[in-house]
Every structure is written in structure tokens, then in C-alpha cells.
């Protein structure tokens, strides 16, 4: 037995939405690009992201589009195209899964891997990830590798774009402590302000506060969190998701049914329940299918793929009824079911 610390990798795509737009339209490369709202900088809305050229003008995420326009009127302003970003997101995550199946999906452009059991060196793993993502999507990412999620996430942000930062526990003092407190995961604007009021600006200064003081200021659990986090301590596990393949409902009638109205009403009811399940679990679907089993056990399915991912009751009901229209109901129906497939976690 030998002691081995965990090896957690955090991958964060560079200027993600903007980078995808540049791939769609290479003429944009090297020019300032701002993504946000409907893409009209004279209308209300905020910047989702800006590429690195546009950031030179001071443009950043969450800034009003109008302000961004004032800072750089010659930038290209584009609407948000979630469909393309989601596709690129799935693509780069499928590359990550070739390294290890232990992946936490942390957002549209970021993920954690637990590579403790992967035998290659961190440098080789990082280079495989970067090359794989580049080949598959044409995009670059920044990578942080550390003994835990907290440090890995901080590390991936230290050398952007196209960066690689490997942090060890012994680097806490030299790498973590000089950073401003807002770089510490879990410090939002409120605690940041509170800490600044007592002249705590860096993670190192935070680490100099005794635990009792932190608990006095922030309560037991958050105080303890800040105490540990400022020392680079974090044992939180990766949250790996099991993704359902479909969400469905079906019903077998007490007696076989011939009445179209009853069939249609039942389908509407089942669809409603499927939509409620989707909304509760935060999934959107691209494909809706129905299943009809007749009294003689002949079973038919019909599917309709929609133009985008949705959890809209209206769209899903329409798709289900479009499927029903394609079934010739010339025999009594024993069972009817509806299924939403091609699922994806909805963006908040
Ligand atoms: P980030 O990873 O924070 O930003 P980024 O990928 O654009 O740039 P960086 O190179 O610094 O990582 O967020 C990922 C995407 O999420 C970003 O491209 C757009 C979207 N986003 C918003 O829509 N609103 C926001 O306020 C932020 C921060 C991000
Ligand atoms: Mg990013």
C-alpha cells in the first residue's frame, strides 16, 4: 500500500460562446466579438461573453450590451445560439470521457475529471485532452490539475487561454495565497465585501484569520469552509451524473378502446405528465415518440424530432399529436405511451 493523493482535472473552454462563433464564421477570428441577447447592441440585454480581442476594450460577461457598444462600437455583436454551444459542449465532453468515465459535468463549458487512477503523467493527460478537443471541435481550453476540485478550478483559471496549471498541496503558499479572495470558489459578492471591510483582500490574509473569528463572522459551516478553503483543503467528491435515456409514461386501458377522443385525451394527459417530469428533473428533449399497442398486441411506434431541445408543454404535445396522426387507428387500442428522448440537461 502506498499513499496516493487524488488527481482532479478541471477543464474550462476559452471564451466559449465566442470561440464557437469564430469556428462558425472564421472571418471573425482576430476581431473583437461580443455575444449576448439578440445580438443588437442598441437593445436591452447583457453580454454573455466576449472574445479576448473584445476584452481588451474592457468588455466582460454580464455587462449591458449598450455599455459594450460604447466601449467598442466596431465589435461584431452576435445573438446567443445555444444550439451550437450545446453541440460543442457535448463534443468536448465526449473527448474527456475517453480519458476516464469519472466526469462531473460542471456547466456548459467546464467539467471535472477524477484521473487518480489514470497511469499517464499529468502533462500527457493534459496534452491528450487539448489535442482531442482541438481535433474534435477546433477549440482551445484551459486545464487545471490539483489534488482536489477547489484547487483544480482555481488552477484552470490561472493561465488563460490555452493554459495548463498543475498545483500541488505544497504550492498553497506560493500560488494560492497571493490571489484575491474572489478567486476562491464559494466567495460571492457579499462575503467578499464583508471581508474587504475588515481589510482581507487575498486568500493568504483570509488564511491568517483564526477559525473562531471566521465562525464568529460567518457562522459554523461557512466559517469552517473558508478556513479550509483558504488552506487549499477540499475533500468534496465529483458529482457524476447518470443521464436518463428517456422520460416516458404509458397506460394500458382497462378495456381496449376504439374511441379516438378517448385515445387523444389519454395521450394529452400522458404528455402532460412527461413534460412535468422533464421540468422537475431539468431535462429538455429533442425527440418525442408514441407507442400504440392494439388489442392483438401489434405494436407501433412513431417519432418526431423537433428543431431544438425543449420542455415546452405546447411543443411536446404538438409533436406527440403529429405522431398520433401517422397511426391508422383501425383496431381497438390496448396501450398507449409517450416518450421524450434525445434528452439534455436544460440550461438555466
Ligand atoms: P466562462 O467560462 O466564465 O467564460 P468564457 O468561456 O467565455 O471565457 P474564459 O476563457 O474566461 O473561460 O463562461 C462560459 C460561457 O458561459 C461563456 O462563453 C458564456 C456563458 N456565460 C454567460 O452566458 N453569462 C455569464 O455571465 C458568464 C460568466 C458566462
Ligand atoms: Mg470558459
Q: To the nearest whole percent, how much of the chain has pLDDT over 70?
A: 97
9 alpha carbon – ligand 1 mean position (Å)? 19
Split at pLDDT 50, 70, 90, the class of 315 is: very high
The ligand minimizing its distance to the Cα of 18 is 1
11 alpha carbon – ligand 2 mean position (Å)? 9
Residue-wise pLDDT tens digits, 57-77 = 999 999 999 999 999 999 999
The ligand minimizing its distance to the Cα of 347 is 1
Q: What is the 3-state secondary structure (H, E, C) of the chain?
A: CCCCCCCEEEEEECCHHHHHHHHHCHHHCCCCEEECCCCCCCCCCECCEECHHHHCCCCCCCCEHHHHHHHCCCCEEECCCHHHHHHHHHHHHHHHCCCCCCEEEEECCEEEEECCCCCCCHHHHHHHHHHHHHHHHCCCEEEEEECCHHHHHHHHCCCCCCCEEECCHHHHHHHHCCCEHHHCCCCCHHHHHHHHHCCCCEHHHHHCCCHHHHHHHHCHHHHHHHHHHCCCCCCCCCCCCCCCCEEEEEEEEEEEECCHHHHHHHHHHHHHHHHHHHHHHCEEEEEEEEEEEECCCCEEEEEEEEEEEECCHHHHHHHHHHHHHCCCCCCCEEEEEEEEEEEEECCC
For ligand 1, whether the C-beta of 151 sits within 6 Å is: no
Cell of 209: 484569520
- Distance, in Å, from the CA atom of 181 to the CA atom of 60, rounded to the nearest integer, reads 20
Split at pLDDT 50, 70, 90, the class of 119 is: very high
Residue-wise pLDDT tens digits, 270-307 = 999 999 999 988 999 999 999 999 999 898 999 999 99
Active site residues: 110
Q: b/e for 22-54, b at 16 or more Cβ within 10 A?
A: beeeeebeeebbbbbbebebeeebebbbbbebb
Identify whether the C-beta of residue 116 lies closer than 8 Å to the C-beta of residue 72: no
Q: Is the pTM of this model over 0.75?
A: no
For ligand 1, whether the C-beta of 267 sits within 6 Å is: no
For ligand 1, whether the C-beta of 109 sits within 6 Å is: yes
Q: Which residues contact 172 (CB under 8 A, 6 or more apart)?
A: 231, 232
The total number of residues shown for the chain amounts to 348
Enumerate domains of the chain plus CATH numbers. Answer: 8-13+83-171 (3.30.70.270), 17-82 (3.40.1170.60), 179-229 (1.10.150.20), 246-345 (3.30.1490.100)
Q: Which atom of ligand 1 is nearest to the CA of 160?
A: 10
User: What is the model's pLDDT at position 281?
Assistant: 86
User: What is the model's pLDDT at position 242?
Assistant: 64
Q: Which atom of ligand 1 is nearest to the CA of 18?
A: 18
71 alpha carbon – ligand 2 mean position (Å)? 22
108 alpha carbon – ligand 2 mean position (Å)? 9
Residue 311: pLDDT above 90? yes
Identify whether the C-beta of residue 331 lies closer than 8 Å to the C-beta of residue 294: yes
Pocket test for ligand 1, best of 16, 38, 139, 162 (most atoms within 8 A of CB): 16
For ligand 1, whether the C-beta of 34 sits within 6 Å is: no
Overall average pLDDT of the 299-320 stretch: 95
Residue 11: pLDDT above 90? yes
Overall average pLDDT of the 107-135 stretch: 96
For ligand 1, whether the C-beta of 14 sits within 6 Å is: yes
User: What is the model's pLDDT at position 1?
Assistant: 38
63 alpha carbon – ligand 1 mean position (Å)? 12
Residue-wise pLDDT tens digits, 207-245 = 999 999 999 999 999 999 999 999 999 999 898 866 678
Closest CA to 321 of 304, 306, 308: 304
User: What is the model's pLDDT at position 348?
Assistant: 59
The ligand minimizing its distance to the Cα of 22 is 1
Identify whether the C-beta of residue 50 lies closer than 8 Å to the C-beta of residue 59: yes
Q: Which of 79-83, 115-119, 344-348 has the lowest mean pLDDT?
A: 344-348
Cell of 341: 428522448
Identify whether the C-beta of residue 143 lies closer than 8 Å to the C-beta of residue 11: yes
103 alpha carbon – ligand 2 mean position (Å)? 17
Q: Which atom of ligand 1 is nearest to the CA of 13?
A: 6
For ligand 1, whether the C-beta of 22 sits within 6 Å is: no
For ligand 1, whether the C-beta of 84 sits within 6 Å is: no
For ligand 1, whether the C-beta of 16 sits within 6 Å is: yes
User: What is the model's pLDDT at position 185?
Assistant: 92
Split at pLDDT 50, 70, 90, the class of 153 is: very high
19 alpha carbon – ligand 1 mean position (Å)? 11
For ligand 1, whether the C-beta of 51 sits within 6 Å is: no
Split at pLDDT 50, 70, 90, the class of 2 is: very low
The ligand minimizing its distance to the Cα of 35 is 1
Using CA positions, which residue lies closest to atom 5 of ligand 1?
A: 15
Amino acid at each position: 500500500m502506498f499513499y496516493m493523493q487524488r488527481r482532479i482535472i478541471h477543464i474550462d473552454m476559452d471564451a466559449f460562446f465566442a470561440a464557437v462563433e469564430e469556428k462558425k464564421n472564421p472571418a471573425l477570428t482576430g476581431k473583437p466579438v461580443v455575444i449576448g441577447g439578440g445580438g443588437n447592441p442598441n437593445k436591452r440585454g447583457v453580454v454573455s461573453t466576449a472574445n479576448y480581442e473584445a476584452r481588451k476594450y474592457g468588455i466582460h460577461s454580464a455587462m449591458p450590451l449598450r455599455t459594450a457598444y460604447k466601449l467598442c462600437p466596431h465589435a461584431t455583436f452576435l445573438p446567443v445560439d445555444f444550439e451550437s454551444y450545446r453541440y460543442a459542449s457535448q463534443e468536448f465532453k465526449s473527448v474527456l470521457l475517453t480519458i476516464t468515465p469519472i466526469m462531473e459535468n460542471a456547466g456548459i463549458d467546464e467539467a471535472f475529471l477524477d484521473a487518480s487512477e489514470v497511469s499517464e503523467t499529468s502533462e500527457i493527460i493534459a496534452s491528450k485532452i487539448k489535442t482531442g478537443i482541438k481535433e474534435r471541435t477546433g477549440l482551445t481550453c484551459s486545464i487545471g490539475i490539483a489534488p482536489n476540485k477547489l484547487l483544480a478550478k482555481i488552477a484552470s483559471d490561472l493561465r488563460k487561454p490555452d493554459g495548463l496549471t498543475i498545483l500541488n498541496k505544497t504550492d498553497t503558499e506560493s500560488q494560492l495565497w497571493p490571489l484575491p479572495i474572489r478567486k476562491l470558489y464559494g466567495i460571492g459578492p457579499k462575503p467578499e465585501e464583508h471581508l474587504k471591510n475588515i481589510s482581507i483582500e487575498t486568500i493568504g490574509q483570509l488564511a491568517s484569520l483564526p477559525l473562531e473569528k471566521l465562525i464568529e463572522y460567518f457562522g459554523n459551516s461557512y466559517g469552517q469552509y473558508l478556513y479550509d478553503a483558504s488552506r487549499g483543503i477540499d475533500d468534496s467528491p465529483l458529482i457524476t451524473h447518470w443521464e436518463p435515456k428517456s422520460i416516458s409514461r404509458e397506460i394500458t386501458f382497462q378495456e381496449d378502446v376504439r374511441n379516438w377522443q378517448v385515445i387523444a385525451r389519454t395521450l394529452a394527459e400522458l404528455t402532460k405528465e412527461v413534460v412535468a417530469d422533464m421540468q422537475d428533473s431539468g431535462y429538455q428533449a429533442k425527440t418525442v415518440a408514441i407507442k400504440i399497442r392494439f388489442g392483438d398486441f401489434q405494436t407501433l411506434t412513431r417519432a418526431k424530432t423537433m428543431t431544438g431541445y425543449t420542455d415546452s408543454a405546447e411543443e411536446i404535445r404538438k409533436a406527440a399529436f403529429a405522431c398520433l396522426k401517422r397511426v391508422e387507428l383501425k383496431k381497438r387500442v390496448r396501450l398507449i405511451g409517450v416518450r421524450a428522448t434525445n434528452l439534455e440537461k436544460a440550461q438555466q
